[in-house]
Amino acid sequence: MNDTGGMGDDVQLLTLDVNGTSYEVITPPRRTLVDVLRHDLRLTGTHVGCEHGICGACTVLVDGLPVRACLMFAAQAEGARISTVESLADPGSGELDDLQRAFTENHGLQCGFCTPGFLMLAQGFLAERPEATKEEIREVVAANLCRCTGYQTIVEAIDACATARRAQRAAGTEETSCN
Amino acid sequence: MKPAPFRYHRARDVEDATALLAELGDEAKVIAGGQSLVAMMNFRLARPAHLVDIGGLRELDHLGTDAGGGLRIGALTTHHTVETAPPQQLGAGFDIIRAAMAWIGHLPIRTRGTAGGSMAHGDATAEWCLLAVLLDAELVARSPRGQRRVPAREFFFGYYTTALDPDEILVEIVFPHPAPHAALTEFAERRGDFAVVSAAVSLEAEGRAVHGGRVALGGVAAMPVRVPEAEAVLAAGGSFRDCAEAAAAAVDPPGDANGSPHYRKHLIRTLVERACEEAMSR
């Protein structure tokens, strides 16, 4: 009756907050967060690669911080705010956000398989470190694997986004102080 | 791959967690951040029949100094929390601990992985285990029988083996003494990998004059080890180079795909000297 993914074991009811929407899923405890996102919630923007925490393709935000969704059981995510790559673009128009546009403009992707992971890694990192230097960005993206770009363009995309956000904030502050 | 089936139990508090462990016995594993355990379960290197999730026990997530100037770290404190803690929260003389966090995996690992989880997992090259051995940490464990404090030197038994009983969980780690001139460094094939060799030192110094210190190594035995021969060189006023030579001569490191014993000795010479210099620059 319930879709247990052919696992045939005990199931549990979970309530998960994903991208601001509350979902109820009935799923076996051994389902990792990335599998529940993809199979139960059909949010297939998050990709799954190595399933042991090496590649970072499955990176999502949990309470604002980047985590490996393959190294976490969905049950552990109950009560937390989960954000996936689907949260970035405008839900109405589908227009990409500034970080996604920066990846496009700087050729920060080729095949695109790793891109959702890099986007969420950068999103979480920049939220915490808006002043991040290029060197710090380079260190952080070592967390995820990309076999196409050679990383240079990914670093440039994240740096360009961070620089633009800083400029925007400075302009905003100036405006406020003028008023 | 996908993990084998298990039953999931969410602990309400520490008492509930230890009672569950006592009831479920050897078939149960504790999960905190899960950054080692879930990978092992996905590979089916670990197949616990029950998982007891202590991740929600906020009372184990704390970080602060005690009256004696020591540092108390709740078992569920993440590496990332330690790395980003304001200086006054970490207290004076514990820069080595904050700086060591950058060596643990990558940011998305550090946001989930916990100090207590790393200690309880007991990897021979883990940074937390090396820090505990170097700085004489005390590990506070609780079971239905009560609470006890285990000194780090009696906590690690060998590869992934600790003094924790099956119904015991680690609740707190205490670093009793500040270590103002201390540093940890390591070498891995890729940034974020487990170290091939790691070295940590804590020097006793007045001004630029070193009159003693501790030296500990990871990746050279089944658990982190202190190296008395290298510490004797520091106590006698020897150079950092001589201290590093003594450390390399004193240990008998294993050979594997990550490095031969000869190569590991070479790393020890380089890393111990580097750690001493970094420690003095603090």
Q: What domains sit in chain A, N to C, each tagged with a CATH number? A: 1-87 (3.10.20.30), 88-179 (1.10.150.120)
Tell me if B108 and A143 make a contact (CB, 8 A cut-off): yes
Structure confidence at residue A8 (pLDDT): 60
**Which is nearest to A49 in space by CA: A70, A66, A24?**
A70
Mean pLDDT of all residues in A16-22: 98
Q: How many CA atoms lie within 13 A of B1 on its CB side?
A: 12
CB contact under 8 A, B107 and A140: yes
Every domain of chain B and the residues it spans: 7-53, 61-175, 182-281
Q: What is the pLDDT of residue A175?
A: 61
Quick count: other Cβ atoms within 10 Å of Cβ B159?
A: 11
Q: What is the ipTM of this complex?
A: 0.93
In 3-state terms chain A splits into helix, strand, coil percentages (rounded to 5) of: 40, 15, 45
Residue that wins the pLDDT comparison between B202 and A4: B202
> Of B186, B206, B194, B199, whose CA–CA distance to B276 is shortest?
B199
Average confidence (pLDDT) over B139-155: 97
Q: What is the mean pLDDT of chain B?
A: 96
pLDDT higher than 60, residue A7: no
Residue A2, pLDDT above cutoff 50: no
Spatial separation of the C-alpha atoms in residues A150 and A141, rounded to whole Å: 11
| Interface-testing mutation among A15, A26, A32, A73, with chain B (most B C-beta atoms within 10 A) | A73
- Structural tokens at position B260: 């031969």
Query: Is B128's pLDDT higher than 60?
Result: yes
CB contact under 8 A, B39 and A52: yes
Question: Is the pLDDT confidence value at B227 over 70?
Answer: yes
pLDDT of A57-88, one tens digit each?
999 999 999 999 999 999 999 999 999 999 99
Q: Which residues contact B16 (CB under 8 A, 6 or more apart)?
A: none
Note whether B122 and B161 are within 8 A (CB).
yes
Q: For an interface test with A, which of B12, B107, B110 has the most A Cβ atoms less than 10 Å from its Cβ?
A: B107
Mean pLDDT of A8-28: 94
- A119-152 pLDDT, tens digit per residue, is 999 999 999 999 999 999 999 999 999 999 999 9
Where do the H-state alpha helices sit in chain B? 14-24, 37-42, 79-83, 87-90, 95-101, 107-110, 115-121, 127-134, 228-235, 240-250, 261-281
Q: What is the pLDDT of residue A176?
A: 58
Task: Pick left, alpha or beta for residue A151 (phi over 0 → left; psi -120 to 50 → alpha; otherwise beta).
Answer: left
Answer whether A67 sits within 8 Å of B111, measured CB to CB: yes
pLDDT in tens, B53-105: 999 999 999 999 998 899 999 999 999 999 999 988 998 899 999 999 999 99
Measuring CA to CA, which residue among A54, A53, A44 is closest to residue A85? A44
CA distance B60 to B64: 12
The CATH code belonging to domain B61-175 is 3.30.465.10
Q: Given this model, what pLDDT does residue A1 score?
A: 40
Model confidence pTM above 0.80: yes
- CB B224, CB B128: distance < 8 Å: no
Paired tokens of B169: 């969980």
Tell me how far CA of residue B200 lies from CA of A16, A44, A55, A119, B184, in angstroms.
Answer: 42, 44, 29, 35, 4
Pairing of strands B197-206, B156-158: unpaired
Amino acid at A171: A
The CATH code belonging to domain B7-53 is 3.30.43.10
Report CA-CA distances (Å) from B280 to B47, B254, B272, B275: 46, 30, 12, 9
Interface of B with A (CB under 8 A): 1-8, 10, 31, 34-35, 38-39, 41-43, 51, 53, 55-56, 80, 84, 105-109, 111-112, 190-192
Q: What is the pLDDT of residues A153-179, one digit of tens each?
A: 999 999 999 999 999 999 987 665 554
Name the nearest CA neighbour of B256 among B217, B226, B220: B220
Domain B182-281 CATH assignment equals 3.30.390.50 = yes
